[in-house]
Amino acid sequence: MQEKLNQNLISVIEKIEKARIATDRHRIVRLVAVSKYSTEEEIAALYACGQRAFGENKVQDLKTKSKILESLPLEWHFIGSLQSNKINALLSLNPFMFQSLHSLELAEQLQKRLQSENKSLRTLLQVNSAKETSKSGFMPEVAYEAYLEILESCPNIELVGLMSIGAHTQDRAVVQKSFETTHKIFEKLQNKGANTLSMGMSDDFELAISCGSNCVRLGSVLFK
Ligand SMILES: *Cc1c(COP(=O)(O)O)cnc(C)c1O
């Protein structure tokens, strides 16, 4: 298993590097290994290959896996849709980053909880750039204003950028358009402290990097 994961990781890093260098030699691209379909053993094996950042999309899974692996210095990203009744559970796990803040209502509830616990949480605003009803996140027209509003009214939410899932289609032009939409909003926010643009999954990460992503979230290509 270790050998296979190592080969997957090397091949993925080569592809990320190729896409990165073709677009922007000075950008650093973070790789978050999405472990939602993987076991603790697989995560530990990928860690042994040098991977540090992992992502989960369910609070319960993040809890179980991070507890079992707590002796390893892993960097956990929560990338799923957070229900308000799971806020406390997520905060108690002290994740490195919450990538998927999808509404003002959730921001308000999160702020309350963070404030009462005297904590802050590194967070990305999720943009539904392809405007798909199956996805959560802010519509692109309102994402910029919402970002500013949260910056102002939620001091314990440390907003550091945007996250988006590419359009769900085989049409590359449409996927590219969805990434470009998010990138445009990100550019406007760079003077407001936004430094992370999380876009790109197994099927579209090279395209996402060419559209400005500096954080890719990869599951199946790493753990296949
Ligand atoms: C599952 C998931 C990923 C990884 O998907 P793959 O196609 O397996 O790379 C990335 N981001 C989010 C939000 C996910 O839920």
Structure tokens at 10: 């090397």
Instruction: Tell me, in angstroms, the distance from the centre of ligand 1 to residue 148's CA.
Output: 27
In b/e form, how buried is each residue of 16-32, taking b as 16+ CB within 10 angstroms?
beebbeeeeeeeebbbb
Q: Whose CA is nearest to atom 10 of ligand 1?
A: 217
Q: Which residues pair with 98 in a beta bridge?
A: 78, 123
Residue 137's nearest CA partner among 172, 174, 108, 162 is 162
Query: How far is 74 from 67, CA to CA, in rounded Å?
Result: 11
Identify the CATH number of the domain in which residue 175 sits: 3.20.20.10
Instruction: Tell me, in angstroms, the distance from the centre of ligand 1 to residue 218's CA.
Output: 6
Instruction: Tell me, in angstroms, the distance from the centre of ligand 1 to residue 201's CA.
Output: 6
pLDDT value for 198: 98
pLDDT value for 1: 87
Instruction: Tell me, in angstroms, the distance from the centre of ligand 1 to residue 222's CA.
Output: 11
Helix (H, G, I), strand (E, B) or coil at 79: coil
To which H or E segment does residue 32 belong?
A: strand 30-34
Instruction: Tell me, in angstroms, the distance from the centre of ligand 1 to residue 116's CA.
Output: 32
Tally of domains within the chain: 1
pLDDT tens-digit profile, the chain (224 residues): 889 999 999 999 999 999 999 999 999 999 999 999 999 999 999 999 999 999 999 999 999 999 999 999 999 999 999 999 999 999 999 999 999 999 999 999 999 999 999 999 999 999 999 999 999 999 999 999 999 999 999 999 999 999 999 999 999 999 999 999 999 999 999 999 999 999 999 999 999 999 999 999 999 999 99
Residue 22's nearest CA partner among 218, 221, 212 is 212
Kindly give the number of the ligand 1 atom that is closest to the alpha carbon of 99.
Answer: 13
Find the angle CA(166)-CA(169)-CA(175) to the nearest 5 degrees.
Answer: 40
Q: Whose CA is nearest to atom 13 of ligand 1?
A: 79
Which range marks the domain in which residue 72 is found?
2-223
Kindly give the number of the ligand 1 atom that is closest to the alpha carbon of 221.
Answer: 9
- Residue of 36, 77, 101 to mutate, ligand 1, most atoms within 8 A of C-beta: 36
